[in-house]
Amino acid sequence: MSSFGIWFHVYLTCCLPLYTVCTTTAEDWKEQWDYVTVRPGARMFYWLYQTTSPGGINNAPLVMWLQGGPGQSSTGMGNFEEIGPLDISLKQRNTTWQVPFYIMTESYGGKMTAVIADQLIQAISEKKLECLFVGVTLGAPFIHPEVTLQSWIEYAVSNALIDNTEAYTLTQQFWKIKGFILTNQWEQAYYSMLAFGGLFQKYTNYVDMYNMLLWGTPNGRAVVSEVVNKGLLISSSNERALWTLMNGKIRKKLKIIPKNIVWGGQNESVYVSLNGDFMKPAVKTVNKLVSQTSLQVAVYTGQLDIIVNTLGTLKWVSTLDIYGKYSKVDRQPFPCPQQIKNTCGFVKTFKNFSMFWIMNAGHMVPKDNGAAGLEMIK
């Protein structure tokens, strides 16, 4: 991909930040932010870093980024923890701003993206919307909750995180979840999933679900309690630091945040409101995008991710209509930039579908291995 300027919208409600890529230094950007009324009583916050590319916004690619959760904020997590111009310490993030970068979604955002893409294609075909829509990237996507949760057990056993006795107990708990799914009792499946997650964390001595090599957060048990009570797809790393940054320096900088609004305050309410949807799969929608449209569909998975691990991702990918022919294609390695001897990842492509395996990264690929993410986009 060639170098372009950046249109960077971040929405506080974690819905629609828009990105392109850029090669300028972070000091050159122009910013603006405000609230937009989307319906009576509801406003959405946006934050724009405007392009400095000579070609301007008309020649820059546009990308829609959806944070996961559900309920996580792109303004904070996506912006400062992963792909914005500054990191959580307000230092320049070179992998975003000085080299090309393209990414669309992460985690539960993958399920939302599949559905939104389907609706967008329909609106375009009906001429309700004019848009050159070309592709989606589903990062560590929570597309098939059932197979994802079951894969935790196999992943944990194979990586010495649990033993066979613990695996048996977890399997019994998993079958309770599956029973609720089979009878379309989605809320019961959700609450049973929380119990399953709490037991899994206890058995693994509270391993970081986003990166299997990490333990030992200072408030490990408090973090786990919050994960179990508020949902599994939240970040357990840098959470307090990010909250402090957003409700401190960033709040003062923006100057327009109402006094009754606290950054991150919507997380739990959004998550709980979606508990009836959380365990529902979106495989059929992804299959439709791959098989019935010309949309470029890419899926990536982090080697060290537990919460949406490679095993579970491969299992639902194997149910796609194109899998028979896709499976016969050879997987290709790609090197890390300036580290030719190291492998950044692997890629396998058939027609409009690609899958990327990213090495040395967990759930949050841009944060763990930004260089590999950049190579993937190229």
In DSSP notation, 307-365 reads: TT-HHHHHHHHTTSTTHHHHTTSPPEEEEETTEEEEEEEEEEEETTEEEEEETT--S-H
Domain range enclosing 321: 8-142+279-377
Residue 6 confidence (pLDDT): 30
CATH of the domain at 83: 3.40.50.1820
Whether residues 367 and 342 fall in one domain: yes
Number of domains within the chain:
2
Whether residues 331 and 216 fall in one domain: no
Whether residues 112 and 217 fall in one domain: no
Last residue of a domain, one of 232, 252, 268: 232
Residue tagged 């990213």 (tokens):
358
Residue 223 confidence (pLDDT): 44
Q: How far is CA 135 from the centre of its chain?
A: 16
- Give me 76's structure tokens: 């904070």
Domain assignment present for residue 267? The answer is no
Residue 43 confidence (pLDDT): 80
pLDDT, one tens digit per residue, over 245-267 is: 888 888 888 888 888 888 777 77
Domain assignment present for residue 341? The answer is yes
Whether residues 17 and 136 fall in one domain: yes
Residue 238 confidence (pLDDT): 58
Residue tagged 């991710």 (tokens):
305
Residue 90 confidence (pLDDT): 63
DSSP state of 304: T
Whether residues 33 and 118 fall in one domain: yes
Name the residues annotated as catalytic. 107, 305, 363
Whether residues 13 and 133 fall in one domain: yes
Residue 357 confidence (pLDDT): 96
Last residue of a domain, one of 168, 203, 232: 232
Residue 116 confidence (pLDDT): 84
Low-confidence ranges of the chain (pLDDT < 50): 1-28, 95-102, 218-229, 231-237
Strand-by-strand arrangement of the 339-350 sheet = 135-139, 296-302, 353-358, 339-350, 332-336
Residue 53 confidence (pLDDT): 61
